[in-house]
């Protein structure tokens, strides 16, 4: 539904005229809230309006120097906001988990030191009533694009409508909830969301990228392009060599460089992002100093590969960082759109056959922890907690959707003896599969009693790490007659097949935050199951999931919110949509000593946007 744009000033004048005609006083219907420097999902922002800098940034960090980052993959687009370029666009343009927002920025800026709090940025203030039925942003008069043009209300409205109509599905899902738009004076814009019943939506709108109306062609917006974009960010795209590298250079006229919220950020004059075909070649480049920061996720490599001269003489530094965020789910995904995985009982039995203890000990130096739920190591997790009365009330309309052991908090993934061939586990899984309609034939192949077809499927992978885990899983499956083949493809084909749900089983990780919200719709809703490019890779279609996401978004208190998230966690676990794999309890990063970072680490972990060149 297209948003309707009307003028608040005009509406107020009409109301005043009616009031005078009727001889009554004008009731200030619009005075629900006061403009604020920030907004939190629940409660109030931690920082006052007079804050000097974000806690995890060093306001005295030196400016200058150059930095190179390495990433595995490829790119063929400079538009990360569309389906066609969403997964193959250049890193760092917008909302990049590693590099931040180098080119495109949003109305408000998120603090990485709070669960979900935004502070004034392109919009210097935000205003919303207690019921959050609307949100109003007032544009900073100094905000401008890299070509010098000021940011206007027209740009904000244009951005919402363009992203809603031609952006990635998650943009469409969020922004279609805006029922109408009102201008407020010269610099204000109000989004009405009366019927959204979504307390997070004002914050989601605050994170909307702002695009230049004068420089974007709506007719071609949804097509990939390598044309350098115009944004409000601190860097300009200076050089593009797809698929090898992209070079960003500091915009000397960056409008926000003196804002308190940006003090200590964007410290390099140049940022280059190099692309590598695989992790091995990328790591060899790091050893040679071709890029300077290497986040590490492979325990075997962390324990054995960092023995090169630069580490021994102190030129490369290994660091461990603690984070306060939940550890999400990483698993081999069952594509429930495939008939072979349609039965939850089959998925449950297959999940039991992954020998985490063997994999963790033999491949990963016992560094990992087994993933059990979708919000591990946090108050949001249902693991080890029986459902409370709030949760039971939320789940009451959906009897049987949560397994008893998940409801009472006793569920844990299967624990093996670590041998890679635990007979007890094998017998249990085989018994469950037989109860689900399978039997061993004369050749010791597990086949369907009804059709005679073997229980066989393909595991789609693209990295050596995933291939190693899949091979270990394959060996265990083979012991009871299940035939799993492993298909390794390049990164581009892997992304294409995942986007179109063209796989039997593949690896997927869902990161978690302390404030999960609308992104859960894009991951788990029934609508997302039928939307190509969504993160609902398993194809989950469970009405309880939709209801619990809605309860989470509408929760008025932290207690209600936590109950809704835990209930969602229980439903996802009980659906057996994945073979739970593993997660690291800490964050590892290796860096050359030419790079320094602030003393304080953010709640969510290191923020590379605040790091800087040593010796400047």
The structural domain count of the chain equals: 3
Give the per-residue pLDDT at 300. Answer: 87
Residue 311 predicted with pLDDT over 70? yes
Span 260-301, pLDDT tens digits: 999 999 999 999 999 999 889 999 999 999 999 999 988 989
- Local structure of residue 541 (DSSP, 8 states): -
Per-residue pLDDT band for 13 (boundaries 50, 70, 90) equals very low
- Local structure of residue 354 (DSSP, 8 states): -
Higher pLDDT, 445 or 168: 445
CATH code of the domain in which 364 resides: 3.10.105.10
- Local structure of residue 115 (DSSP, 8 states): S
Give the per-residue pLDDT at 609. Answer: 97
Span 217-238, pLDDT tens digits: 999 999 999 999 999 999 999 9
| Cα distance between residue 79 and residue 508, in whole Å | 23
Domain assignment of residue 230, yes or no: no
| Cα distance between residue 53 and residue 57, in whole Å | 7
- Local structure of residue 374 (DSSP, 8 states): S
Give the dihedral of Cα atoms 42, 46, 52, 58; nearest 10 deg. Answer: -100
Percent of the chain with pLDDT over 70: 94
Partner residues linked to 331 by β-bridges: 508, 580
Residue 22 predicted with pLDDT over 90? no
Give the per-residue pLDDT at 6. Answer: 43
Give the dihedral of Cα atoms 544, 550, 552, 557; nearest 10 deg. Answer: -130
Domain assignment of residue 483, given as a range:
329-583
Domain assignment of residue 79, yes or no: yes
Lowest mean pLDDT across 1-10, 372-381, 517-526: 1-10
Per-residue pLDDT band for 85 (boundaries 50, 70, 90) equals low
| Cα distance between residue 135 and residue 123, in whole Å | 12
Q: Which residues of 269-300 are buried (b: 16+ CB within 10 A; e: fewer)?
A: bbbbbbbbeebeebbebbbeeebbbbbbebbe
Averaged over 313-338, what is the pLDDT?
A: 96
Which of 158, 186, 215 is a domain's end point?
215
Nearest to 297 by CA among 366, 375, 364, 372: 364
Structural tokens at position 552: 């989470």
145 lies in the same domain as 279: no
Domain assignment of residue 47, yes or no: no
Domain assignment of residue 49, yes or no: no
| Cα distance between residue 367 and residue 272, in whole Å | 32
Higher pLDDT, 411 or 97: 411
210 lies in the same domain as 267: no
**Sequence-separated contacts (24+) of 165-171 with Cβ below 8 Å:** 166/82, 166/218, 166/221, 166/222, 167/81, 167/82, 167/222, 168/81, 168/82, 168/83, 168/86, 168/533, 169/83, 169/522, 169/528, 169/531, 169/533, 169/534, 170/518, 170/519, 170/521, 170/522, 170/534, 171/81
Span 150-170, pLDDT tens digits: 999 999 999 999 999 999 888
Domain assignment of residue 51, yes or no: no
Span 481-509, pLDDT tens digits: 999 999 999 988 999 999 999 999 999 99
304 lies in the same domain as 365: no
292 lies in the same domain as 370: no
Residue 4 predicted with pLDDT over 90? no
- pTM of the entire predicted model: 0.80
29 lies in the same domain as 129: yes
Give the per-residue pLDDT at 32. Answer: 52
Give the per-residue pLDDT at 83. Answer: 85
Domain assignment of residue 386, yes or no: yes
Averaged over 439-452, what is the pLDDT?
A: 95
Terminal alpha carbon distance of the chain:
53
Residue 239 predicted with pLDDT over 70? yes
Give the per-residue pLDDT at 33. Answer: 73
Give the per-residue pLDDT at 333. Answer: 98
13 lies in the same domain as 31: yes
Identify the H or E element spanning 440: strand 438-440
CATH code of the domain in which 142 resides: 3.40.190.10
121 lies in the same domain as 36: yes
419 lies in the same domain as 449: yes
Domain assignment of residue 220, yes or no: no
Which of 150, 181, 215 is a domain's end point?
215
Averaged over 54-73, what is the pLDDT?
A: 97
Which of 215, 243, 274 is a domain's end point?
215
Looking at every residue in the chain, the average pLDDT score rounds to: 93
182 and 29 Cβ atoms separated by less than 8 Å = no
580 and 413 Cβ atoms separated by less than 8 Å = yes
Give the per-residue pLDDT at 2. Answer: 45
Identify the H or E element spanning 430: helix 423-435
Per-residue pLDDT band for 10 (boundaries 50, 70, 90) equals very low
447 lies in the same domain as 510: yes
Residue 552 predicted with pLDDT over 50? yes
Give the per-residue pLDDT at 8. Answer: 41
310 lies in the same domain as 355: no
Give the per-residue pLDDT at 492. Answer: 84
Give the per-residue pLDDT at 86. Answer: 59
Span 597-616, pLDDT tens digits: 999 999 999 999 999 999 86
Answer positive or negative: Cα dihedral of 460, 464, 469, 473. positive
Structural tokens at position 305: 């590969």
Lowest mean pLDDT across 19-28, 116-125, 147-156: 19-28
Nearest to 294 by CA among 31, 589, 602: 589
Give the per-residue pLDDT at 156. Answer: 98
Identify the H or E element spanning 7: strand 4-7
Domain assignment of residue 225, yes or no: no
143 lies in the same domain as 185: yes
126 lies in the same domain as 247: no
């Amino acid at each position: 539904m297209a948003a309707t744009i009307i003028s608040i000033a005009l509406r107020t004048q009409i109301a005043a005229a009616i009031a005078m005609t009727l001889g009554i006083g004008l009731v200030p219907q619009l005075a629900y809230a006061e403009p604020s420097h920030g907004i939190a999902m629940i409660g109030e922002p931690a920082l006052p309006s007079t804050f000097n800098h974000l806690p995890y940034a060093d306001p005295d960090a030196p400016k200058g120097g150059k930095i190179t980052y390495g990433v595995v993959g490829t790119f063929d687009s400079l538009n990360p906001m569309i389906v066609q370029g969403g997964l193959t666009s250049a890193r760092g343009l917008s909302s990049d988990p590693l590099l931040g927002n180098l080119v495109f920025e949003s109305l408000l800026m998120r603090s990485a030191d709070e669960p979900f709090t935004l502070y004034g940025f392109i919009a210097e203030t935000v205003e919303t009533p207690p019921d959050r039925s609307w949100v109003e942003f007032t544009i900073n008069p100094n905000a401008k694009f890299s070509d010098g043009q000021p940011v206007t209300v027209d740009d904000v409205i244009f951005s919402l409508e363009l992203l809603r109509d031609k952006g990635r599905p998650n943009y469409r899902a969020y922004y279609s909830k805006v029922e109408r738009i009102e201008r407020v004076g010269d610099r204000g814009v109000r989004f009405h969301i009366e019927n959204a019943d979504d307390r997070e939506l004002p914050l989601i709108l605050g994170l909307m990228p702002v695009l230049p109306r004068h420089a974007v062609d709506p007719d071609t917006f949804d097509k990939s392009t390598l044309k350098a974009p115009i944004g409000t960010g601190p860097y300009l795209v200076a050089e593009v060599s797809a698929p090898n590298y992209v070079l960003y250079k500091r915009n000397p006229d960056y409008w926000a460089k003196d804002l308190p919220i940006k003090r200590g950020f964007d410290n390099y004059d140049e940022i280059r992002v190099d692309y590598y075909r695989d992790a091995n070649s990328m790591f060899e480049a790091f050893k040679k100093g071709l890029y300077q920061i290497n986040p590490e996720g492979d325990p075997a490599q962390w324990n054995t590969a960092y023995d090169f001269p630069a580490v021994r003489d102190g030129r490369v530094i290994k660091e461990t960082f603690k984070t306060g965020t939940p550890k999400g789910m990483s698993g081999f995904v069952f594509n429930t759109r495939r008939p072979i995985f349609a039965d939850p009982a089959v998925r449950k039995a297959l999940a039991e056959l992954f020998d985490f203890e063997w994999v963790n000990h033999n491949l990963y130096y016992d560094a990992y922890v087994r993933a059990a739920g979708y919000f591990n190591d946090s108050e949001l997790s249902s693991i080890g907690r029986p459902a409370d009365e709030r949760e039971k009330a939320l789940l009451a309309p959906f009897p049987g959707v949560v397994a008893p052991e998940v409801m009472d908090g006793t569920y844990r993934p299967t624990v093996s003896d670590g041998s890679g061939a635990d007979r007890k586990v094998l017998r249990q899984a085989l018994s469950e599969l037989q109860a689900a309609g399978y039997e061993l034939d004369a050749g010791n192949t597990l086949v369907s009693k009804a059709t005679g077809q073997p229980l066989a499927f393909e595991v789609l992978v693209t990295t050596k790490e995933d291939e190693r885990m899949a091979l270990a899983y394959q060996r265990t499956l083979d012991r009871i007659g299940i035939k799993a083949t492993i298909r390794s493809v390049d990164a581009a084909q892997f992304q294409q097949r995942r986007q179109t749900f063209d796989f039997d089983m593949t690896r997927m990780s869902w990161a978690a935050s302390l404030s999960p919200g609308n992104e859960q719709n894009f991951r788990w809703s029934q609508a997302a199951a039928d939307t190509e490019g969504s993160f609902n890779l398993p194809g989950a279609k469970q009405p309880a999931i939709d209801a619990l996401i809605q309860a989470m978004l509408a929760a008025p208190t932290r207690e209600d919110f936590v109950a809704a998230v835990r209930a969602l966690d229980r439903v996802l676990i009980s659906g057996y949509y994945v073979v739970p794999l593993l997660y690291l309890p800490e964050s590892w990063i290796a860096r050359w000593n030419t790079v320094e970072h602030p003393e304080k680490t953010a709640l969510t972990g290191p923020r590379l946007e605040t790091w800087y060149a040593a010796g400047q």
